[in-house]
Structure 1
């Protein structure tokens, strides 16, 4: 029996892994597991990942071909080679970009950050992505996104019809499936309770306010641990030295990050803007109490399981952290609520819902309704 081909834009296999790429990896690995067990959601379909030639990261799938082909690289490959390679099938694009010459496709637009936090990006990047988002919103029959907040912003900023956008939440199991590094905290000299923050060079992540909050709190018997990103000393106030209770552990591997989530007494994430927000969800899934911004998609993802802070006010961030660290009963309550909130999100649910929406445009609406019914039964 001839199978219907669904191609996946594999340009992300060339990139370093951020939240957008994490989504692509985990979604495809989950679909691969559905193929392995001959799940009805994937029966009758052939999934082929198309990637540029040259060195790429390992996708880790067993039942999904990764095919490297085409001329050029980067955006030229995506815009000109990819539509030719996928001309006999439906194309699924997972990472905010897609060819403008392809009609039979779906694209995941994770956020409208180029509009909402424009200072984060270069002028050329903003110009291209604004053009691409608006064009894709007009020509692509299906737009996927990861939160209601992102959907609202894509409608407002890009003029995309609300009826063609589907919200499908991401999962969190990847952080639970990685190993741990039991010796890591001892190796870093972390003997006291600590507040964890995952830093980034992006101004949007609001790293400066984390450092300022640590300065305001001072040494109250616990440490601040900063993982990843730039050295926090470059963010110190002009008239205030960072205290001894701030530790910068640099880049960490996945198993080391999992260990930090497991060991931290609190996780703080005062980002100005997120399309979804993996780090607080990962922290909740590991049983870590979370202090997070009250902005963008974060209240949608975190529910009532966290303490919210104003990302523009370091003193508010400091007050919320101090409240969590001083109250063991509150930490236990937040841990229980966080685990329950994180349980609402799964990669399998993400995969089923994505496949059902794609089938609307591959087979027609009646076939998709049957697929949705099968998905609900499988998830139950």
Structure 2
């Protein structure tokens, strides 16, 4: 019996949940006998229906994962696939996806409670699991060097594009809010200290272009406090933008900027590339891995360099061609299915 830990159906979508949702869909198409188990507090009902997910137990969150899911898969002697950094701590017949180890690289970005919990959780999962999946060679290297995971235990499965970003011709259905006639820079990510929006905003304020706007799209979380000094009439923050509209924000942007200090992957980059949008990003290892020489890089700690590289990118009319074929959910599912075959009892 193969079980997918589908707790992601109860969580708001970030890159981690995107990975789980799209990969789960591919796994469902490839093997109809896979069972998807979820807590009762589902928020992605359409996805749950598509997967044929089954509600298990009465609890939710970590308690559900550590008690009710654990008891079920142990009783059934199932192979468990956990795709979102967490899983039952003491269940050995498990394949787990660890997207990054940001809690260890820069613990100051998180609460002490969060860091303490993940310092217990992640090493234990890495130890007991039969195989580890991660989303980039950069993350793989960190798992080997920082947490002593054997290289042969790790498989890299890249993130890829949601279906709406793969359409050759987009449906011309979008709300009047999308600034199709506006000159704007776009950044897309959930709000978190490592996303480095504060420096981006300060750099943008140094650009003397009254007709240029900065759109920052992403849901705010408790670790990010928006100070009034990071707002102005030309800086627009948006939340809860559906993919069907988000694709147009990418398409009409003059430039996409991603100033993160640390990432395991960086899905917004390939989303922007899919719409042939010019890109300006932090010079960090994982972005070099994803983008190669097809983008403009800046020092994410230097606001002046961010500003200058944005200006340089805006004045550069050369568009790079980029092959996104290596980022495929289907290929990712093939890798996971191979791991399943190798680790089934």
TM-score, normalised on structure 2? 0.90
The residue aligned with 2:61 is 74
8 Å CA contact 1:181–1:255 kept in 2: the answer is no
After TM superposition, give the deviation of residue 109 of structure 1 in Å.
0.3
8 Å CA contact 2:184–2:212 kept in 1: the answer is yes
Residues 133, 189 of structure 1: CA spacing in aligned structure 2 closer, same or farther, 3 A cutoff?
closer
- Does residue 349 (structure 1) correspond to residue 331 (structure 2)? The answer is yes
- Does residue 195 (structure 1) correspond to residue 188 (structure 2)? The answer is no
In structure 1, C-alpha distance between the alignment counterparts of 2:239 and 2:130, rounded to whole Å = 43
Structure number with larger C-alpha Rg: 1
Residue in structure 2 matching 1:211, options 181, 191, 201: 201
- Does residue 25 (structure 1) correspond to residue 15 (structure 2)? The answer is no
The residue aligned with 2:342 is 360
After TM superposition, give the deviation of residue 220 of structure 1 in Å.
6.4
Give secondary structure in 2 for the equivalent of 1:86: helix
In structure 2, C-alpha distance between the alignment counterparts of 1:101 and 1:252, rounded to whole Å = 38
Which of structure 1's runs of 4+ aligned residues deviate more than 6 A?
A: none
159-168 vs 227-236, greater mean Cα deviation: 227-236
Residue in structure 1 matching 2:227, options 234, 237, 245: 234
Residues 147, 183 of structure 1: CA spacing in aligned structure 2 closer, same or farther, 3 A cutoff?
closer
Any residues of structure 2 matched to 1:112-151 within 5 Å, and which?
A: 112-151=101-140
Residues 223, 232 of structure 1: CA spacing in aligned structure 2 closer, same or farther, 3 A cutoff?
farther
Residues 94, 229 of structure 1: CA spacing in aligned structure 2 closer, same or farther, 3 A cutoff?
closer
8 Å CA contact 2:256–2:277 kept in 1: the answer is yes
In structure 2, C-alpha distance between the alignment counterparts of 1:305 and 1:177, rounded to whole Å = 19
Residues 105, 282 of structure 1: CA spacing in aligned structure 2 closer, same or farther, 3 A cutoff?
same
* Unpaired runs of at least 5, structure 1: 35-41, 364-380
The residue aligned with 1:293 is 282
Say what the alpha-carbon RMSD is for the aligned residues: 2.4
Give secondary structure in 2 for the equivalent of 1:187: coil
In structure 2, C-alpha distance between the alignment counterparts of 1:63 and 1:16, rounded to whole Å = 18
Give secondary structure in 2 for the equivalent of 1:152: helix
After TM superposition, give the deviation of residue 13 of structure 1 in Å.
1.1
1:165-217 Cα deviation digits (max 9, x unpaired): 11111211434158656554x53555333211125331100001111111111
* Unpaired runs of at least 5, structure 2: none
8 Å CA contact 2:57–2:68 kept in 1: the answer is yes
- Does residue 225 (structure 1) correspond to residue 215 (structure 2)? The answer is yes
Give secondary structure in 1 for the equivalent of 2:339: helix
TM-score, normalised on structure 1? 0.82
Give secondary structure in 2 for the equivalent of 1:350: helix
Residue in structure 2 matching 1:317, options 298, 306, 318: 306
